[in-house]
Amino acid sequence: MSRGRIEASRRLANYLGLAAVAAFAALALAPLFHIVGVVALNGLEAVKRSGLSLLTAPPNPTDPAHPGGIGPALAGTAMLVAVAMLFSVLLAIPAGVFIAEFRRAGVSRLTMLLALILVEFPTVLVGLTVYAVEVERMVGRYNMLAGSLALAIVVLPYMAVQVSEALRHVPKELREAAFSLGVSRLTAVYRILVGVARRGILVGILIGMAKAAGETAPLLFTIGGYFETAPRSLLDPGGAVSLLIYEYAQQPQPGYHVLAWGAALVLLLIVFAIMIVARFFVREVRL
């Protein structure tokens, strides 16, 4: 073949290859765009009818033209996520440090294995267990604390792994520098290395928050699903945005559907907002 022909066939092969890759990429992303598009379009209907009061007003599903809002459910989600994160962050950081720094100890390996298993554990089972232990035996009725506990259990293993990975990625030189200062191991880790790894840890926390905000199964048997008023204390039953979507989508009346779509849009925006903030802190976001 002449030189020109070889060049031409190479160019063609390159072009076809790129086209194929682009096509597959588009195919892979299409469902995401589809979901976002559908939720946005339908959710905007709710926004049109209620405006900003979608976020603050109580629901009024009997009148589809003035459906009210998801205010109490949003307050519920906020309460659940705050309390769940409090529990799980307090436990995940020591757990992550333990896994990362005492790698060879048997207990540490066991912890890492358990964490990895629990990350994929069926969340509905977590909810059921919390129901059996806390709701039935300890409190006697559905309550927000139960929901927070269930969410904390769901999110904790993921964050422990994230913390341990963040610490593992601290470069050897910095680790040696920290130890060469003559402090105890615990001090070197907690006062210096955690600081070095703090971006990775923060991203882990943010993603944990996004997960907690979006989970539904752990809440099914724990918080009760009351969307009309916001819970006044952790021992009251209440609702959450994710649970509202689940409940309202199954109702026959259109007023419920409008609110469900509106809630879906709000939830999507919350998760997106958290992810964008997380992306701002770290170049690579590991899920």
Partner 1 sequence: MRNLNVWLSGRHIVKNVSFEMEDGTVFALMGPSGSGKSTLLRAINRLLDIYEEAEVRGEVILDGVNVYDPAVEPPWVRRRVGMVFQYPNPFPHMSIYDNVAVGPRLNRMARSKKELDKIVRWALEKAYLWDEVKDRLHAPAAKLSGGQKQRLSIARALALRPRLLLMDEPTANLDPVATEKIEELIVELKKEIPILLVTHDPQQAARVADYTGFLYYGELVETGPTAKIFTEPENPLTERYLLRRLGAPR
Q: Of the two residues 196 and 235, which places its CB atom closer to partner 1 in the complex?
A: 196
Distance CA 219, CA 209 (A): 15
Q: Of the two residues 56 and 187, which places its CB atom closer to partner 1 in the complex?
A: 187
Which one of residues 17, 37, 140, 195 is an interface residue with partner 1 (CB under 8 A)? Answer: 195
The mark string for 34-73 relative to partner 1 (x by CB under 8 A, - otherwise) is ----------------------------------------
Report if residue 192 touches partner 1, rule: CB under 8 A: yes
The mark string for 123-162 relative to partner 1 (x by CB under 8 A, - otherwise) is ----------------------------------------
Distance CA 59, CA 44 (A): 16
Which one of residues 196, 202, 235, 277 is an interface residue with partner 1 (CB under 8 A)? Answer: 196
Report if residue 281 touches partner 1, rule: CB under 8 A: no
Which one of residues 104, 137, 232, 283 is an interface residue with partner 1 (CB under 8 A)? Answer: 104
Nearest alpha-carbon partner for 39 in 212, 241, 285: 241
Count of residues in contact with partner 1, rule CB under 8 A: 20
Q: Of the two residues 73 and 170, which places its CB atom closer to partner 1 in the complex?
A: 170
Encoded tokens for 105: 């100890």
241 touches 43 (CB < 8 A): no
CB of 286 to partner 1, least distance (A): 20
Rounded to whole angstroms, the maximal C-alpha distance in the chain is 85
Which one of residues 13, 181, 276, 285 is an interface residue with partner 1 (CB under 8 A)? Answer: 181
Distance CA 240, CA 76 (A): 5
Report if residue 187 touches partner 1, rule: CB under 8 A: yes
Report if residue 226 touches partner 1, rule: CB under 8 A: no
277 touches 206 (CB < 8 A): yes
Report if residue 283 touches partner 1, rule: CB under 8 A: no
Q: Which stretch binds partner 1 (CB under 8 A): 17-25, 145-153, 184-192, 213-221?
A: 184-192
CB of 187 to partner 1, least distance (A): 6
Measured CA distances, 135 to 102, 238, 244 (Å)? 37, 13, 20
| Residue 224 backbone phi and psi in degrees, to 5 | 100, -35
Distance CA 15, CA 209 (A): 42
CB of 175 to partner 1, least distance (A): 8
Which one of residues 13, 41, 133, 174 is an interface residue with partner 1 (CB under 8 A)? Answer: 174
Query: Footprint of partner 1 on this chain (CB under 8 A)?
Result: 104, 171, 173-184, 187, 191-192, 195-196, 198
